[in-house]
A and B are shown apart, each in its own frame.
Chain A
Amino acid sequence: MRIEISGLTKTFKGRGNALDHLDLTVPTGMFGLLGANGAGKTTLMRILAGLLRPTSGTVRIGGEDPTTPAGLLAVQRTLGYLPQDLGVYPDLTARQFLDYIALLKGLDSRPVRRRRIGELLEVVALAQDADRRLKGFSGGMKRRVGIAQALLANPRLLIVDEPTAGLDPEERIRFRTLLAQLAGDRTVLLSTHIVEDVAQTCRILAVLARGRLLFTGEVGELAGFATNKVWTLATPGPPPPGTVVSALPEGGGMRYRVVSAASPGPGAQLLRPTLEDGYLALMEERSAGGIKSAR
């Protein structure tokens, strides 16, 4: 299912543009959406899920316009949505919560519903806890309930907004692997500010900043932004110029990994860039005014 976004703008009163003439095409498969907090990712997700109306611009999801009632209904029938600020009813059990959402998604047949809920509880490894009330669930377990509810109606479009925020490392890895497995012939739109999550799951991504599209393309292309700009340098003195990616104590000083257009100091050695380096290089270039927007 292809998503086509053209000139999309969303203005909030008193807060300016959350999205500013955004043009973006999302193909079928796993697609990463990177950006700092406040970049406009959640606003974009909420518009795609039909929870917000754009100020201007057009959105087509599988050819449907979610800003019209008929288009919204068609989109929501094919949609699984995991919001960033996921909440659950604490007084329901996981099974009851999923049953309720399944009913709202139109799974009217009780046997079908039961079977589907049972399958998904297995997929998210919550079968043992299915009849416990949600108020006793950890953040990670609630996230897993969230992904289960998103998958109830076997959606062709899965929108997941910051799904790994607040998860411990083990759960994070488990969760993003699950998302990647789900992609297949679905469109999975993964919004996050955690570069590692995109690096491990997506081939294609977009980068947003202040509501504008900075980059869209393959993961390798973004990493390529930092080619010949990633350095390692050991120094006992202050941090070298450039964007420090990491710092490790070494001997009496520190070993830095730095993204910088020029060598950050004597003895600095070039390294092979990662996606995170590419993202930081892109952001640095944007701050310096080198990038206005990308298509």
Chain B
Amino acid sequence: MIATLRYEFRMQIRRPALWIVYGIVFAIQGVLINWYFTLDRGLGPILDPRQAMADVTAWTATLPMIAYGCLIADRLVRDRTLRVDGILDATPADATARLLGKFAGVCLAGAVPLALMVVGRGLVWTVMEGDPGGLLWSIVIFVVALGPGLLFTGALALVGPLVMPVTVFRVAFAAYWFWGNLIPPDLMPNLAHTLLAADGEYALLGLFGSTTRVPVEGALLNFLRPDPTAGTGLLSIALILLLAGVALPLARLRREP
């Protein structure tokens, strides 16, 4: 598993497309949500690093997560398209361990640019404010709030292309991300702002005091939108991890023998 993790990480992190796509997405998002570049997010003096880093993480989990999923989508099927699978499957290495190694490697590599955006922002905060809390909170919040969503979308992006072409999956994944996380629920019934939203909103709101809460009155599925508390934050994390745990084993079902 460690060998596969190492090499999958290496191959993904060196991929020029990874940096180009993220660069474009960050640039677009930076134009759309320009408060990322101001320490107070345009709201005046907010000196709570935890809250500020929670907001930064919420910002990072909007459009760039689409790039994350799309960049992972070809990783599992590529062994077959490159015709490397025969060699790999003929080794005594356990297939499940290889799958987990691939999953961990590509998810880690795909998360590096996202982490750089969040932790980099924490570093800037720390330097500008002289408060190491910015850096520390940025790391904690990235791992705790965004980590489960990264694992779930990573698993989904590995498994999805086993049942449809990669390009079709990428379009479907982008559509899912908008439907499940970004489109206001009063426009259509969806999973945005629910406990199942993979952008980690409940964890950010309930555990880290993010200020990005969008109240949705009278929307369908509002039973999945309880008041954000530490408890609902943890419940959301557990549910998203559970979804990741359900998605990933599906990749093993299509293998022979």
Listed in ascending order, the chain A residues whose CB lies under 8 Å from chain B are: 46, 49-53, 67, 73, 76-77, 79, 81, 83, 85-92, 96, 100-101, 103-106, 146, 149
Contact = CB atoms under 8 A, between A and B. Distances in A.
B143 interface: no
Nearest to A47: B257
Nearest to B82: A87
Contacts of B3: 100, 103-104
A77 B91 CA distance: 7
B92 to A, nearest CB: 4
8 contacts: A49-B89, A50-B257, A73-B92, A88-B82, A89-B7, A91-B11, A104-B91, A149-B87
Given A51-B86, A76-B90, A89 B257 contact: no
Interface in B1-56: 3-4, 7, 10-11, 14-15
B88 interface: yes
Given A87-B82, A90-B82, A92-B11, A53 B257 contact: yes
A78 to B, nearest CB: 9
Nearest to A152: B91
A79 B98 CA distance: 18
Size band of the interface chain B makes with A: 20 to 34
A144 B206 CA distance: 57
Contacts of A104: 3-4, 88, 91-93, 98
B4 to A, nearest CB: 7
Contacts of B98: 104
B83 interface: yes
B84 interface: yes
B93 A105 contact: yes
B257 A52 contact: yes
B217 interface: no
Contact of A79 (B14, B88, B90, B256): B90
A91 B15 contact: yes
B3 to A, nearest CB: 3
A76 B84 contact: no
A85 B11 contact: no
Contacts of A106: 92-93
Nearest to B78: A89
Contacts of B82: 87-90
A127 to B, nearest CB: 21
Nearest to A49: B90
Nearest to A42: B86
A67 B256 CA distance: 12
Nearest to B85: A87
Contacts of A49: 86, 89-90
Contacts of B4: 104
From B7, B15, B90, B256, name the one whose CB has the most chain A CB atoms within 10 angstroms: B90
A86 B87 contact: yes
A89 B11 contact: yes
Contact of B83 (A86, A91, A92): A86
A87 to B, nearest CB: 3
Contacts of A81: 86-87, 90
Interface string B93-119: 100001000000000000000000000
A76 B14 contact: no
A89 B84 contact: yes
Nearest to B94: A73
B7 A92 contact: yes
A103 B94 CA distance: 12
B92 A76 contact: yes
Given A51-B86, A89-B11, A100-B7, A105 B257 contact: no
From A51, A52, A85, name the one whose CB has the most chain B CB atoms within 10 angstroms: A51
A89 B8 CA distance: 10
Nearest to A102: B3
From A67, A83, A86, A92, name the one whose CB has the most chain B CB atoms within 10 angstroms: A83
A15 to B, nearest CB: 15
Nearest to A107: B3
Contacts of A83: 83, 86-87, 90
Contacts of B11: 89, 91-92
A86 B4 CA distance: 19
A91 B169 CA distance: 24
Nearest to B90: A81
A87 B84 contact: yes
